[in-house]
Amino acid sequence: MRFSPSSRRAALWLFCSPLAVSVAHAATQSPHHTVRKPHGHAATAPVAQPVAATPVAPAAVTPKRRSAPKAAQASGSEQIIATGRHSRSEQTVGHLQMQRTLPGINPIKSLQILPGVVFNNSDPWGNNEQNSSLVIHGFNQNQLGYTLDEIPLGDQAYGNYNGLSPQRAAISENFASASVATGAGALGTASTSNLGGTLQFTTQDPLHRAGGQLSQTFGSFSTFRTFARIDTGDFGHGNSAYVSWGRQDARAWDFAGHQGGNQVNAKFVHEDSKNKVSVFFDWAEKVEPNEDGIVMPNGGSLYVRPFMYPNLNEAIKYYQNSPEYKNAGLNYRNYYSAAQRQDYLMYAKWHHDFSANLTWDTNIYYHHDMGEGVVAGPITAAGLPTLFSAYFPNQSASQLSDVFGGSGMATRTTEYWDNRGGIMTSLKYHLGKHHIEVGGWYERNNNTQARRWYPFDASNPTTPYDRQQDALIKQYTNYFYTNTFTTHLQDNWQISKNFSLNAGFKSELVYTNGTLPVAGLPGSLSPATAITVPGGTIAAVRPFLPSFGALWNITDHEQWFANIQENMRSFQAAGYGNATPWGVTSQQAFEDFKRHGKPETSWTYETGLRTNRHVNAGPLTNISGQLEYYHVHFSNRLLAVASTQTLSSIVGSATTLTNVGSVSTDGMDFSFTAQFGEHFSFYNALSYNKSVYNDDYMNGNTRVPTANKNVAGVPNWTEKFVASTRWGDFNAQFVGDVVGKRYTTFTNDLHANAYALFSLNAGYDIRGIPHVRSLRVQGNITNLTNEKGWSTVNTNNASGQYTAFPIAPRMYFLTLSATF
């Protein structure tokens, strides 16, 4: 394969930098973590940020497997992130850094050290999806795009409808890297929700040698995590495979629920001179008991709101009109709640080189999910007597209690079934100074969401881990059928060896038919006049979403980039209570939105400078970094305006889907890595973001004054750092994450205070043990200073209330990992 002048220059620039040394060393020291690039697959070379522990493919183009240069193998430095050489901002965290942060970590949480990324979760691994939140440049997690090995993961909605979380798509230890484009992602990204950036995750390929890995983590609150993997190595004709199993069990830190489950991954790779075929399988079955958030400011001094399971007698007494229950208001305690999820995910990918200048990639995938969100609690709370009276009229409170099993409790579920499959294909052609790419993606998604109620019998009680059977009330059921078509065309024009332009566009056509085979009875919803609507078909169509970019190598060490891109977010295929056309309260409102409603869109502008330099300033030997400025204009923001204020209500509330105008965002990200010889490095990321609502909006006849107010949930300032050291087989890191004040209502009348979290990790690799390639011992301490505060905050539209989840306390973990 021929290298363009710019590719040769980039590769030379890279291999002459400490990154090449650090990557090669990481690969030779940890063969489990090497990543094979597809034969002939073009990837832009990364700019080094050599702190600690991320192997990233070092070459712009990898036509054949190559060994590390001898000089590189002698170095002891590693890196923590790699900065992609694109016309947009993109940074990567690799496998080693993920697992050093905490073995078994959600790969999204590993990205929180990057500038512009704000991730919160009450679980130290970041695995609990109910209280998870992510903000990047003013956009929340449902407005970003996510892929695993280029296949779509949906928009990460807690109520499944078009995907699954990365930690359910693959076992944490099998991830090779996690990348985030904080401004706008690549045109070919398989997502229809990426108003903001994109998050791309890759899984490891099988090893070329036969072997295995066994890891065991012990820790606070009865943590017991096991990971096992067997690699076949190359077994002829370019074939290799692995199979792995992961199991996690950990008691929630503030209640008696145990979170975790089992997961299996398998991957097969065939690679020859012109082809690479990859087949991947994932099965995951997880249960995550949830705690409820604190409704503020009425929560007073409450910091946790745990459920009472397994103390059934205590719960029954609590619900029998005890003063504690009557005075709790919206902060009453449920008996239990949990998210139950079972997923099957499979894909087959084929990369083919027709010639040195023409390549073809195709990916076929299928995903099945069966999920259930379950809550067991009192039948007298949050408007439930009104709901139940619609199905059991003229019943007294004691009679209703008998109907539901005599315990004074009922069990509510939201049940999900999702079957989706699709195909992606793209051609890449190198013609002179032009690199042309054309591609498309089609997905068919059939998903169901149902709300059901079950009795709770004190003589035969259920648990958070049980699937409910024999519903007493089938309140409503939505079916959604979605066809997604996207195409993209782009050209990267290498005008000179130092300057290139790129331009292209994406077409996005999404057609969703929402139906209602089971409708809620009149009076069963909130308010009593609300209904669930029959629905129909609505399309979100934008045939031309343009993108423009430029890249200039100013010197051998400095680079300027710029990118402009438009994106659209399709409507969520969800019903009652959601910000979707199928969640409105009348068929007339649905038809009106179908005629006049618009999908959300955004324009993103970003520009910045990158540098990577050897220096000779006493102990400082290398400096690298990136400075970026961005501006975003977000139009047609859709808001589900609640008819009643029922925060934490188990009934929910009917909503009016409202276009509340636009949002403007301006911000800057600055990150750098300072390397002090072979043994020390310091990485720092500082971000400023100013996101404001541009308009007031109407809630009925009331004007809500949100114009010029800060977007709720988005901090203005964040600061992250990682101080690393490595001495031979010993390494350690001190990590900090500082998040500024966040407004928690649209009118900015309430806020959550700033917080600072610190953590430590240290590990040692023991070698020379017979029949064991290496034995690694690693310790982790999370929330080192035992900081208290609010992690995830669920913002609210001008109600004077919000829901907040606490920060997990200090925890300790020890991991033993043997490689054979």
CB 79 within 8 A of CB 51: yes
Residue with tokens 């990992």: 817
**684 - beta bridge partners?**
672, 721
Q: Which two tokens stand for residue 94?
A: 């690799």
Model confidence at 476: pLDDT above 90: yes
**What is the total count of domains within the chain?**
1
Q: CA dist 233 to 230, 264, 268, 776, 795, Å?
A: 9, 19, 11, 22, 50
Indicate the helix (H) or strand (E) that contains 429: strand 406-431
**685 - beta bridge partners?**
671, 720
Band the pLDDT of 796: cuts 50, 70, 90: confident
pLDDT one-digit tens code per residue, 602-635? 999 999 999 999 999 999 999 999 999 999 999 9
The mean pLDDT of 664-682, rounded to a whole number, is 96
Enter the DSSP assignment of 384: H
Alpha carbon 132 to its chain centroid, in Å, reads 9
Give me the pLDDT at residue 651, please. Answer: 59
Residue with tokens 């430095």: 77
Enter the DSSP assignment of 20: H
Give me the pLDDT at residue 698, please. Answer: 87
**262 - beta bridge partners?**
247, 285
Q: CA dist 60 to 2, 40, 278, Å?
A: 12, 10, 21
Q: Where are the beta strands (DSSP E) in 62-191?
A: 81-84, 91-94, 117-120, 133-136, 139-140, 145-148, 151-152, 175-181
Band the pLDDT of 7: cuts 50, 70, 90: very low
Q: Which two tokens stand for residue 268?
A: 């097969």
Give me the pLDDT at residue 747, please. Answer: 93
pLDDT one-digit tens code per residue, 90-144? 999 999 999 999 999 999 999 999 999 999 999 999 999 999 999 999 999 999 9
Enter the DSSP assignment of 30: -
Give me the pLDDT at residue 5, please. Answer: 42
Give me the pLDDT at residue 41, please. Answer: 38
CB atoms within 10 A of CB 785: 10
Residue with tokens 């669930």: 532
Band the pLDDT of 388: cuts 50, 70, 90: very high
Model confidence at 764: pLDDT above 90: yes
Enter the DSSP assignment of 785: T
More confident of the two residues 80 and 214: 214
CB 200 within 8 A of CB 179: yes
- 338 CB contacts (<8 Å, ≥6 apart)? 257, 287, 288, 289, 290, 373, 374, 464, 465
Model confidence at 30: pLDDT above 60: no
**509 - beta bridge partners?**
485, 541
More confident of the two residues 706 and 644: 706
- 617 CB contacts (<8 Å, ≥6 apart)? none
pLDDT one-digit tens code per residue, 330-359? 899 999 999 999 999 999 999 999 999 999
β pairing state of 275-289 and 294-296: unpaired
User: Letter for the amino acid at 260?
Assistant: G
Task: Classify burial at 557, counting beta carbons within 10 Å of its beta carbon; exposed 0-12, middle 13-18, buried 19 or more.
Answer: middle
User: Letter for the amino acid at 649?
Assistant: S
Give me the pLDDT at residue 504, please. Answer: 98
Question: Angle 601-605-609 (CA atoms, 0-180°, nearest 5)?
Answer: 150
Report which of 201, 192, 197, 166 is spatially closest to residue 181, judged by C-alpha positions: 197
pLDDT one-digit tens code per residue, 401-449? 999 999 999 999 999 999 999 999 999 999 999 999 999 999 999 999 9
Q: Which two tokens stand for residue 269?
A: 């790779």
Q: Where are the beta strands (DSSP E) in 78-174?
A: 81-84, 91-94, 117-120, 133-136, 139-140, 145-148, 151-152
Report which of 246, 287, 278 is spatially closest to residue 265, judged by C-alpha positions: 246
CB 201 within 8 A of CB 180: no
Model confidence at 62: pLDDT above 70: no
Give me the pLDDT at residue 654, please. Answer: 65
Enter the DSSP assignment of 520: P
Band the pLDDT of 657: cuts 50, 70, 90: confident
Band the pLDDT of 643: cuts 50, 70, 90: low
- Distance from C-alpha of 458 to C-alpha of 470, rounded to nearest angstrom: 16
Indicate the helix (H) or strand (E) that contains 722: strand 717-727
Band the pLDDT of 160: cuts 50, 70, 90: confident
- Share above pLDDT 90 across residues of the chain, in percent, rounded to a whole number: 79
Band the pLDDT of 561: cuts 50, 70, 90: very high
The mean pLDDT of 645-672, rounded to a whole number, is 79
Band the pLDDT of 800: cuts 50, 70, 90: confident
Question: Angle 412-417-423 (CA atoms, 0-180°, nearest 5)?
Answer: 155
φ, ψ of residue 142 to 5 degrees: the values are -80, 0
- Share above pLDDT 70 across residues of the chain, in percent, rounded to a whole number: 89
Give me the pLDDT at residue 533, please. Answer: 87
Angle between helices 5-15 and 18-29 (to 10 degrees): 70
Q: Which two tokens stand for residue 617?
A: 């300033």
Give me the pLDDT at residue 553, please. Answer: 97
Cis peptide before 50 (omega within 30 of 0): no
Give me the pLDDT at residue 93, please. Answer: 96
Question: Which domain does 699 fall in, by range?
Answer: 5-819
CB 455 within 8 A of CB 472: yes
pLDDT one-digit tens code per residue, 390-399? 999 988 888 9
The mean pLDDT of 65-93, rounded to a whole number, is 63
CB 471 within 8 A of CB 452: yes
- 729 CB contacts (<8 Å, ≥6 apart)? 764, 765, 766, 767
pLDDT one-digit tens code per residue, 171-224? 999 999 999 999 989 999 999 999 999 999 999 999 999 999 999 999 999 999
- Distance from C-alpha of 269 to C-alpha of 395, rounded to nearest angstrom: 63
Task: Classify burial at 46, counting beta carbons within 10 Å of its beta carbon; exposed 0-12, middle 13-18, buried 19 or more.
Answer: buried
pLDDT one-digit tens code per residue, 244-286? 999 999 999 999 999 999 999 999 999 999 999 999 999 999 9
Total residue length of the chain? 820
- Distance from C-alpha of 579 to C-alpha of 129, rounded to nearest angstrom: 19
Band the pLDDT of 798: cuts 50, 70, 90: low
| CATH number for the domain that contains residue 180 | 2.40.170.20
- Distance from C-alpha of 485 to C-alpha of 483, rounded to nearest angstrom: 7
